[in-house]
Amino acid sequence: MFDVSHPEIQDAVRRALAEDIGSGDVTTHLCVPAAAMATGRMVAREKLTLAGVELLKAVFTDPCIVDLKRVSGEHLDVGEEIAAVRGPARALLTGERVVLNFVQRLSGVATLASAYVRAVEGTGCQVLDTRKTTPGLRRLEKLAVAAGGARNHRVGLYDAVLIKNNHIVAAGGVRAALERTRKAGLPVEIEVRTRAELDEALAWGATHLLLDNLTPAEARDWIAYIAGRAKVEISGGITLENIRAYAETGADFISSGALTHSAKAVDINFRLQLD
């Protein structure tokens, strides 16, 4: 479910509208009669996985009437109608670019996530996102990832422990880092870069390991050595072209920042018709 009620999301919509409208939509107010009524139809112009269409109701408020034809997570073909909005022509024209920016961007994320998920079908491996998101839009982009069928990793630095190489250095080693997180009451994952670090992590009770920047062959070898003693996540250099090879190593998870930082906005049209 693409829930847009969270205060962060509502604030993102307010900021987007304020950024675009500023002191007023001068073109619309000069060109369009105040009494004019219209219907705007949002249509997919390419195959896509939809995300963020629920935001239309946050942008087009009363007296506009929003009719969502499709919902986030649905796969659309070219020409399929996404939503229709009826109301004052001025309101539709003023909100048009903001809703398109949101829905095109978020559907791009969902479409890419869906492609990654399809690429690993049948392997038992799950695709995860990362914190490599657009500043201020993380919650929306993670909802879009989920709409595409992938899973969300931690939301931020506060809801899970992820001990990476720099943390290990700063803590004084693998053992020291793990010992200090035992009573955190949060999920704990640790990155290991060498077999020595791997052995130490397993010896001190690590249950979730991150293997970064290995080749598929190297990852397969490491996972065979781990032999189910911990869950394994692979990251680093993951692309749509190689993710299948990594998934077939036996990894439990593959995380990719590309889902959010490299997703291309999809082509969606918003066409206005006067009543």
pLDDT digits (tens, 9 = 90+) for 234-249: 999 999 999 999 999 9
Burial of 24 (C-beta count, 10 Å sphere; 0-12/13-18/19+): exposed
pLDDT at 18 over 90: yes
Q: How far is CA 120 from CA 114, 143, 150, 239, 252, in A?
A: 10, 20, 11, 12, 11
Active-site residues, by number, are 97, 132, 164, 191, 212
* Structure confidence by residue, pLDDT tens digits, 154-165: 999 999 999 999
- Which CATH number covers residue 150? 3.20.20.70
Contact 234, 253 (CB under 8 A): yes
Same domain, 204 and 162: yes
Number of H helices, E strands in the chain: 11, 12
For the record, the structure tokens of 66 come out as 């929003």
* Residue 1, pLDDT score: 84
Q: What is the average per-residue pLDDT within 192-218?
A: 96
pTM for the whole thing? 0.96
Domain total of the chain: 2
CATH number for 19: 3.90.1170.20
CB 189 within 8 A of CB 160: yes
Beta bridge partners of 232: 209
Residues 57 and 104 in one domain: yes
Compute the average pLDDT of residues 136-141. Answer: 98
Residue of 171, 42, 41, 185 lying closest to 102 (CA atoms): 42
Residue 2: inside a domain: no
* pLDDT tens digits for range 40-62: 999 999 999 999 999 999 999 99
Q: What is the pLDDT of residue 36?
A: 98
Note whether residue 85 is domain-resident: yes
Confidence at residue 31, expressed as pLDDT on a 0 to 100 scale: 97
Within this chain, do residues 136 and 243 fall inside the same structural domain, yes or no? yes
Domain range for 76 is: 7-117+263-274
SS3 at position 237: coil
Other CB atoms within 10 Å distance of the CB of residue 96: 21
What whole-number distance in Å separates Cα of residue 143 and Cα of residue 141? 5
Mean pLDDT of 117-131: 98
Structure tokens at 269: 């049209």
The 8-class DSSP code of residue 47 comes to -
Write the pLDDT tens digit of every residue in 166-197.
999 999 999 999 999 999 999 999 999 999 99
